[in-house]
Structure 1
Amino acid sequence: MAQSPQRRDLTQGDVGRTLLLFALPTLGSNILQSLNGSINAIWVGRFLGEGALAATSNANMVMFLMFSAVFGFGMAATILVGQSMGRGDVEGARRALGSATGLVMGGAVVASVVGWIFAPDILRLLATPPEVMDMALDYLRVIFLGLPAGMLLVLLMMGLRGVGDAMTPLWFMGLGAVIDVGLNPLLIAGIGPFPQMGIAGSATATLIANHVSAIGLLIVIYWRDLPIRLRGHELRWLLPARALMKTIVAKGLPMGAQMVVMTLAGLAMVGLVNRRGVDTAAAYGVSQQLWTYIQMPAMAIGAAVSAMAAQNIGAGRWDRIAQITRSGILYNVVITGAMVVLVILFDRPVMALFLGGDSPALPIARHIQLIVSWSFILFGTTMVMFSVVRANGAVWAPLIALIVALYPVRFGFALFAEPLLHADSLWWSFVLGSATAMGLAAAYYRWGGWRATRLVVAPEQEEVEEQALASGEPAGRIQPAG
């Protein structure tokens, strides 16, 4: 199959240059996603006030938890897609992504229903302030309705990056952002022919944007005959074969659990912050908005490292893996460090967009930012090393390291240092947790047995027979080279 001009062969060329050129479109997607969220938060804060901003912060954390419950399967499929493409096995890549799509969409529908039903109980567990409970519930329930479309959109984008196409996801992230940002004020305030929906209008704008983008991306995938499309008999791969499903679940559950662990830690932190009042909750919510920008380079570089390492492992190019890791860490330190400096220098005028210049939450937010922001350089370095080891199927060590860093270390410090540091114990716990995670990641990367791990999927009997009888191309095998 001829290579699309949008696709990039990640097993050839200078490692540093290839990684950077592949990471930049992903970074662009992250920027658009973060701008989208921030502008929407500005609309909510300006139209509906600080209480509504705190409500969306609580609800978004819950939504991300449900998202995480099925997201690991997509991560596992992306690694399988990358390794298959590294071997030149396009059919194997399609089979992996088709299986993951069936699993993820089923899980997303279940999560959407469960989330809608138990939304009030979840918000109460978060200690959501009573004065914002109704707004948080209205917002959260609409967000749950849009979860399946959002999951499909992300899964398709991950699959495209797995085959080396980072540009197509960028265009559709832009489309979704324009729709979401444009509809937010119209649906919140009821401008023109649009109904006045209040905070539910913000969530409805996101729901519409996700559906339009997911459907549009599917159309383009088939129109351009991109490698991850399924046609004819390939559609049956949406019902995964047992061996492939076993691999996706075995690798996807620990990776999904990592996101769940991180989200639960975030929810627990929200609960601790909420107990300090609405001003601190609003300040923390705005700080999280800025942290999304600081994290963008690390997330983009981590995604690029994962796809690039998977393709090179599939191609047997182990000589490039250490170079990929070093380049990823270097880019993270330089770019994330620059983001931290910019955010610290311009935090007040940016935060005033959300809170207003006279808000009592503003000095609290600036104080939080000054303590926590620098820890994201450590977070990015951890992301790079974990992305490399996961690209070869090593998923348990990163999960264990994350649990240790977040729970006994971060929350242990936050609780036991509280009498001495008061609220600052919460903010300094981020720094200590990030440093611990980076140390554990470095130790496992250097001395762990992740290089010996293999993503092996034995073909089932019916697949063997099908391959023997086929007169065309042999069926793809989800199995790494040597």
Structure 2
Amino acid sequence: MCYYNTGRRQNASCFYFSVKDDFDMKTEMDLTVGKVPTTLLRFAFPLFIANLLQSLYNIVDMLVVGQIVGSTGVAAISNASTLVFIVNAICLGVTTGGTVLIAQYKGAGNKQGQKDAIGTIYALTGVLAIIITIAGLATYRHVFSLMNVPIESLKDARDYMLVILCGTIFVFGYNATCSILRGIGDSIRPLIFVGIATVINVILDCIFVGLLNMGTVGAAYATVISQGMSFVISVAYLKRQNFLFDFKVRSFAVHPPIAKSVLKISLPTAIQMAVVNLSHLIIAAMLNMYGVTIAAASGIGLKINTFAGMPCWAIGSAMTAMVGQNMGAGQIDRTKKIGTTGLKINLLVTLISVVFVQLFAGRLVMLFDTSDPTVISAGIEYLRICCFWNSLIYAIMYSFDSFAVGVGAAPLAMVDALLDSFFIRLPLCSALSSFTMLGFKGVYWGQALSPIIPALIGGAYYLFDNWKTKKLADSDIA
């Protein structure tokens, strides 16, 4: 799946007015004070809504295309989205390092450190966006061939991906802005910016795909234009406010010590997220072998399951920022309590999501495709398996991994991701689908059971307390 201490402590249940270098609006939270459950939920809720709205980009694309183009269009976007997720994962991984470092500077009350970190993050993400765009344009056709994308959907998938890749700079810029705001304790403005983008995307989808009959490529144009407008609006707005970063050209500079600290978190996290989504690409290739109907059904199931995971990811993102601020402030006992509380809340909200999906599985699938009973049946089967066992086990794994990233132990989360996505999931999916009578359902079961061992590893790290001595930028924090 986007993301300050002014020297005075206040009740964390209240936002406080900014002074001098800060904002005029009451959007900043001090995550080092107040009751942990209340503070965590207050910070996480806007993140949840923002994640929900951001996921609507692709959901709306699939809904509109599914109703107008049909299952071939859904399969095209589903396959293209797997590659898009890898690009987005690299972006989110890189910007997560910024969130953690800025949160630790924030907890220590170091404003200059925050400013230098912001400039470094923008510069790094800008360069990376250009590299990813060039690499993506050079390889996406070959990747689709390796994925065995159904021939009926191949052209639409290529057209969709070409447009999306050309808008990569907007995705990276927007997520850099959101990660910076999360690090300083602001989860309101990311919600506003993604809300603007979502409204624009829905309107343009209806115009391009519905009125102008542009098909899947119209949905891609709608997504890129909406993301670009959201990024431009967010930067223009922050420039008008008394933000601690001035957005002048000279300020977009890489500070080597800060870049090193950011990359200590960003590289393992980017690898982690890219690996997870690369495994989804391989899983999609496995399911494509069963034909366009199963490919479409699995894509629909994945989208619904992703939607159900939004609360889990919001809590995890809030945990990372909150843990970062408290580690920067040296509040070890409170940091540990954040881990326990975050895990309990994550299991509860995930259980609620799972129950909802199980009760309305058929109706949810039919939102995307009502014409093919095989697609509906296979989509329901996906949700019965993956949006139950996998969701609950994954909530445990993700909570501990989010905690680890917040304290600066991103390599642990990367190892968990490698185990979950490659060394366990892929062999299990292959074995269950090839050597049992389960067929494509074996792929579903492989995905459902793969997070068990990584969840145990993350829990062990949390319990053994080695994280208590970690600090991301050492003496530079204060």
TM-score, structure 2 length as denominator?
0.91
Instruction: Report the counterpart of residue 210 of structure 1 in structure 2.
Output: 227
- The answer (yes or no) to whether the contact 1:348–1:366 under 8 Å persists in 2 is yes
Question: Which whole-Å CA distance do the structure 1 matches of 2:29 and 2:429 have between them?
Answer: 45
Aligned residue runs from structure 1 range 185-204, under 5 A: 185-189=206-210, 191=211, 195-204=212-221
Question: Which whole-Å CA distance do the structure 1 matches of 2:257 and 2:80 have between them?
Answer: 37
Instruction: Report the counterpart of residue 24 of structure 1 in structure 2.
Output: 45
Confirm or deny that 1:395 pairs with 2:410: yes
Superposed CA deviations along residues 47-77 of structure 1, whole A, max 9, x for unmatched, are: 1110111111111111221233343221111
**Which piece of structure 1 moves more, 431-440 or 100-109?**
431-440
Instruction: Report the counterpart of residue 66 of structure 1 in structure 2.
Output: 87
Question: Which whole-Å CA distance do the structure 1 matches of 2:135 and 2:392 have between them?
Answer: 36
Instruction: Report the counterpart of residue 126 of structure 1 in structure 2.
Output: 147
Instruction: Report the counterpart of residue 195 of structure 2 in structure 1.
Output: 174
Please state whether the residue corresponding to 1:373 is helix, strand or coil: helix
Structure 1 runs (4+) greater than 6 angstroms displaced? none
Instruction: Report the counterpart of residue 253 of structure 2 in structure 1.
Output: 239
Aligned residue runs from structure 1 range 139-288, under 5 A: 139-189=160-210, 191=211, 195-227=212-244, 229-231=245-247, 235-288=249-302
**How far off is 1:14 after superposition?**
0.6
Which of 449, 467, 480 is equivalent to 2:477? 480
Instruction: Report the counterpart of residue 316 of structure 1 in structure 2.
Output: 330
Instruction: Report the counterpart of residue 476 of structure 1 in structure 2.
Output: none
What is the identity, as a one-letter code, of the residue corresponding to 2:295? A
Structure 2, unpaired ranges of 5+: 1-5, 7-16, 19-24
Aligned residue runs from structure 1 range 311-350, under 5 A: 311-350=325-364
Name the CA shift for 1:104/1:29 in 2 (closer, same or farther; >3 Å).
same
Instruction: Report the counterpart of residue 401 of structure 2 in structure 1.
Output: 386
Aligned residue runs from structure 1 range 46-61, under 5 A: 46-61=67-82
What is the identity, as a one-letter code, of the residue corresponding to 1:230? D
- The answer (yes or no) to whether the contact 1:44–1:199 under 8 Å persists in 2 is yes
What is the identity, as a one-letter code, of the residue corresponding to 1:426? V
**Which piece of structure 1 moves more, 90-99 or 235-244?**
235-244
- The sequence identity of aligned pairs, in percent, is 28
- The answer (yes or no) to whether the contact 1:389–1:451 under 8 Å persists in 2 is no
**Which piece of structure 1 moves more, 85-94 or 168-177?**
85-94
Instruction: Report the counterpart of residue 137 of structure 2 in structure 1.
Output: 116
- The answer (yes or no) to whether the contact 2:328–2:471 under 8 Å persists in 1 is no
What is the identity, as a one-letter code, of the residue corresponding to 1:114? A
**How far off is 1:448 after superposition?**
6.3
Instruction: Let me know the Cα RMSD of the aligned residues.
Output: 1.7
Confirm or deny that 1:8 pairs with 2:29: yes
Superposed CA deviations along residues 99-125 of structure 1, whole A, max 9, x for unmatched, are: 011111111112112212322112112
- The answer (yes or no) to whether the contact 1:336–1:380 under 8 Å persists in 2 is yes
**How far off is 1:319 after superposition?**
1.7
Question: Which whole-Å CA distance do the structure 1 matches of 2:33 and 2:205 have between them?
Answer: 44
Aligned residues: 454
Please state whether the residue corresponding to 2:451 is helix, strand or coil: helix
Which of 102, 108, 125 is equivalent to 1:81? 102
Question: Which whole-Å CA distance do the structure 2 matches of 1:70 and 1:289 have between them?
Answer: 20
**Which piece of structure 1 moves more, 166-175 or 371-380?**
371-380
Name the CA shift for 1:356/1:67 in 2 (closer, same or farther; >3 Å).
same
What is the identity, as a one-letter code, of the residue corresponding to 2:154? M
Please state whether the residue corresponding to 1:8 is helix, strand or coil: coil
Instruction: Report the counterpart of residue 13 of structure 2 in structure 1.
Output: none
Instruction: Report the counterpart of residue 14 of structure 2 in structure 1.
Output: none
**How far off is 1:388 after superposition?**
1.4
Structure 1, unpaired ranges of 5+: 459-478
